[in-house]
Chains A and B, each alone.
Chain A
Amino acid sequence: MGAGLSVRGLEKRFGEVIALDGLDLDVAPGSIVGFLGSNGAGKTTSMRGVMGMVSLDGGTIEWDGAPITHEERKRIGYMPQERGMYPRMKVGEHVAYFGRLAGLDKATAAARAEAWIERVGLSDRMDDAIQDLSTGNQQRVQLSMAMVHEPDLFLLDEPFAGLDPMAVEVLIEVMQSQLDRGASVVFSSHQLGVVQDLTDTVTVIARGRTVASGTVSELRAASPKRLMRVEWADDTAWNPPEGVRTDGGQQRWAEFEFPATADAAALITAASAAGPVLSLSYDPPGLDDVFIDLVTP
């Protein structure tokens, strides 16, 4: 493994529409990166740009410290958002075919195809046509196609979309196994809980531009907001400051948001003065809130 993938200042316009506006993305070897953005933010275009499928107006893409080439792109396992397969091809032939396209010899492609199909739980469907599989099973085949040549980097565009819980487990297990052998993974998803659980770092983009990048903890810590939740033993005569939400009826708890720069100790003191405190938490916002704050214009 070398220096991984480094994307700098990607630019792309489609007529009047600016799809990418100086996007940056770094993927260290052996890391798993969550690639987040609202719909239309430029995730798919930037992934296609990395794969060389769209001609870019500007920016650089480096792999192991040098501009990426077509041959090096074959070391990437790509799973697009729009799943695509030949409907009438058999499952085994389909996966082996993509292995051959990735440069594997015939015997290796066939053996790897069989192994991956078994791994995603479809060994009994090897000779079935793709069109005879359910959507979920087709996605398992799609995963096998991305994995068959055992690439160094995976670009997965919305890999969890439409998967049932069992398929999600399979995908997570497969991703983990690839990380264990030293590969890197970049995946986009709107399921922020999964992103928070799986990723080493997260890159958030909005309007074609990278707006934040780092570990989930770093992103949360960098938020300009903090959340506090206080629960009292009895009803209190708490007079909440502006922006504080309480349960209204019994006034036994309060949850409030304030700037990270505010005097937290003074707030805690004020809350304690209102009555005996059962519990108190003081946290930066979760990834969901951080994401919304980052992408909202």
Chain B
Amino acid sequence: MIWEVAKREILTRGRTRAFRIITAILLVLAIAAPIAVRLWPDDGPDTREVTVGVDDDFESEAGLEQLEASADLVGESFSREIDFDFVASSVALEERLADGEIDVGIENVGGEGEGPGRLVFEKDRDQLVEFALGAVLTQRRQIQEAAELGLTDEELGRLLGAGPTESRLLEPVDPDEEEGEAVQIVLAIVGLLSAFLLPQIFGQLTMMGVVEEKSTRVVEVLLAQVRPRTLLAGKLLGTCLLAMVQLGIVVAGLAAAVAVTTSISVPVSAWRFIPIMAVALVGGLIGYTTLFALLGSLISRQEDASQVMLPVFLPLMGGYIVGQTAIAGTADSLLARVLTYIPLTSPMLLPVRVARDAIEPWEIALSLGLMLIGTWLLFRLTVRVYELTILHTGSRIKLKDLRARMANS
């Protein structure tokens, strides 16, 4: 019987245009995101073109080719594409600099073709250009000095080709582990968002379903065949399954798109994390849809819904905000730890703390256990309230009236 009620929920809600459109949009976004990342041109940092005017007293054409070769190497490190252009004299160099035709000049100081050269900027120094051209000019001088000292090309090569200084790490990071942590954090964000959004969407759907059955009076006909607890359980089951179907479609689309467009390998640690996240998500979904159903049974008009929804959003918002903080900062703060054990906030905190590796195994077990017990108690309470209020129509049932009904029943 529960399944019959659940099936009706799935079919009627799932066939609505709103559900299909939202699912389609989410699926398109899930598939498009990895594809967009793949197709987006990755130029690295913005490369700036720099034109350098060279006083022809400073360098010959052959020397300029050598300069360009050095500048290509150095400029790439500083995200600068450096081009050289001969200028007839120092005066011409200053004029072209003032006209903006060149970005920087190299003027000759000292003997023709032998001086160290000096960089000339118009107003402001581009420090990266200054550093890059400084390195190029230094290397030029080193070559000149080496020639004067009578070093052979081989000796010069050994001198300039000395490798970088070696270094070592006391605690080297495993690249796989690093990638795994990144994947877990991404999953934690997905889990947190899902645990925050799904209960809202499908909880409100449950609430509207409860209210609709009261406002259309169909509930009285239903109760002729179905017990209230069966009806409620069927509604919750149907709504939660529908939510999982929607999430499943979106996640499958995302996974397929990621698999096709990237070479990310899911680390072993992520496979441990995913089931915990899934359990927390389902637990949260059931808990919140139950709570929404409880609140829906207190009203009989759709327009009264906003009056009773505040108690749902307090734990939802609290869990979400602390969850965000735990992703970005400290994942084992006292607040995060406490909210991990509270059934209505644990669905958001548990995946995050697991992802951040800031939780002990016993804490996971305790959190899941409390979530299970809390959800069951909430369901029992909801059934009780639902049975007592299901035939009520008219204004919202106040807490005082509810207590009186419960005491008299």
Q: Which of A67-109 contact B (CB under 8 A)?
A: 70, 73-74, 76-80, 82-89, 97-98, 100-102
Which residue of chain A lies nearest to B228 when distances are taken between CB atoms in the complex? A53
**Proximity bits, B322-360, A CB within 8 Å = 1, else 0:** 000000000000000000000000000000000000000
CB pair B12–A84 under 8 Å, yes or no, is no
Task: Kindly state whether residue B149 has any CB partner on chain A within 8 Å.
Answer: no
Task: Kindly state whether residue B222 has any CB partner on chain A within 8 Å.
Answer: yes
CB pair A84–B220 under 8 Å, yes or no, is yes
- Cα separation A98 to B219 with both chains bound (whole Å): 12
B213: min CB distance to chain A, Å: 8
CB pair B391–A70 under 8 Å, yes or no, is no
Contacts of A84 in B (CB 8 A): 213, 216-221
Task: Kindly state whether residue B173 has any CB partner on chain A within 8 Å.
Answer: no
CB pair B225–A102 under 8 Å, yes or no, is yes
Known contacts A70-B227, A73-B224, A100 near B4 by CB under 8 Å: yes
- Cα separation A88 to B14 with both chains bound (whole Å): 13
Task: Kindly state whether residue B223 has any CB partner on chain A within 8 Å.
Answer: yes
Contacts of A278 in B (CB 8 A): none
CB pair B391–A54 under 8 Å, yes or no, is yes
CB pair A51–B221 under 8 Å, yes or no, is no
- Cα separation A73 to B223 with both chains bound (whole Å): 10
Known contacts A55-B409, A84-B219, A76 near B224 by CB under 8 Å: yes
- The interface centre, meaning the residue of A53, A88, A89 with most chain B CB atoms within 10 A of its CB, is A53
Contacts of A113 in B (CB 8 A): none
Known contacts A15-B404, A84-B217, A86-B216, A51 near B222 by CB under 8 Å: no
Task: Kindly state whether residue B1 has any CB partner on chain A within 8 Å.
Answer: yes
CB pair A86–B404 under 8 Å, yes or no, is no
Task: Kindly state whether residue A48 has any CB partner on chain B within 8 Å.
Answer: yes
**Proximity bits, B189-227, A CB within 8 Å = 1, else 0:** 000000000000000000000001100111111111111
Contacts of B225 in A (CB 8 A): 74, 98, 101-102
Known contacts A84-B216, A89-B12, A101 near B223 by CB under 8 Å: no
CB pair A82–B224 under 8 Å, yes or no, is no
- Cα separation A226 to B247 with both chains bound (whole Å): 76
B12: min CB distance to chain A, Å: 7
CB pair A83–B217 under 8 Å, yes or no, is yes
CB pair A85–B218 under 8 Å, yes or no, is yes
Contacts of B48 in A (CB 8 A): none
Contacts of A52 in B (CB 8 A): 223
CB pair A48–B216 under 8 Å, yes or no, is no
CB-based A-B contact count at 8 angstroms: 58
Contacts of B216 in A (CB 8 A): 84-87
Task: Kindly state whether residue B20 has any CB partner on chain A within 8 Å.
Answer: no
- Cα separation A144 to B224 with both chains bound (whole Å): 14
Contacts of B226 in A (CB 8 A): 101
Contacts of A25 in B (CB 8 A): none
Task: Tally B residues with Cβ within 8 Å of A.
Answer: 23
CB pair B220–A97 under 8 Å, yes or no, is no
Contacts of A110 in B (CB 8 A): none
- Cα separation A89 to B209 with both chains bound (whole Å): 13
- Cα separation A84 to B390 with both chains bound (whole Å): 14
CB pair A78–B409 under 8 Å, yes or no, is no
B56: min CB distance to chain A, Å: 85
Contacts of B118 in A (CB 8 A): none
Task: Kindly state whether residue A19 has any CB partner on chain B within 8 Å.
Answer: no
Contacts of B5 in A (CB 8 A): 101
CB pair B221–A80 under 8 Å, yes or no, is yes
- Cα separation A102 to B4 with both chains bound (whole Å): 11
Contacts of B4 in A (CB 8 A): 97, 100-101
Task: Kindly state whether residue B8 has any CB partner on chain A within 8 Å.
Answer: yes
Task: Kindly state whether residue A145 has any CB partner on chain B within 8 Å.
Answer: yes
Contacts of B409 in A (CB 8 A): 55
**Proximity bits, A19-51, B CB within 8 Å = 1, else 0:** 000000000000000000000000000001001
Contacts of A53 in B (CB 8 A): 220, 223-224, 391
- Cα separation A87 to B217 with both chains bound (whole Å): 11
Partner of A86, one of B12, B223, B408: B12
CB pair B391–A78 under 8 Å, yes or no, is no
7 CB < 8 A contacts A-B = A15-B404, A74-B225, A76-B224, A78-B221, A83-B217, A85-B221, A88-B12
- Contacts A78-B224, A85-B216 known; 8 new A-B pairs at CB < 8 A: A53-B220, A77-B224, A82-B217, A84-B221, A85-B221, A87-B216, A98-B225, A101-B225
**4 A-B pairs closest in CB distance:** A84-B217, A84-B218, A78-B224, A101-B225
Chain A contacts to B: CB under 8 angstroms: 15, 48, 51-55, 70, 73-74, 76-80, 82-89, 97-98, 100-102, 142, 145
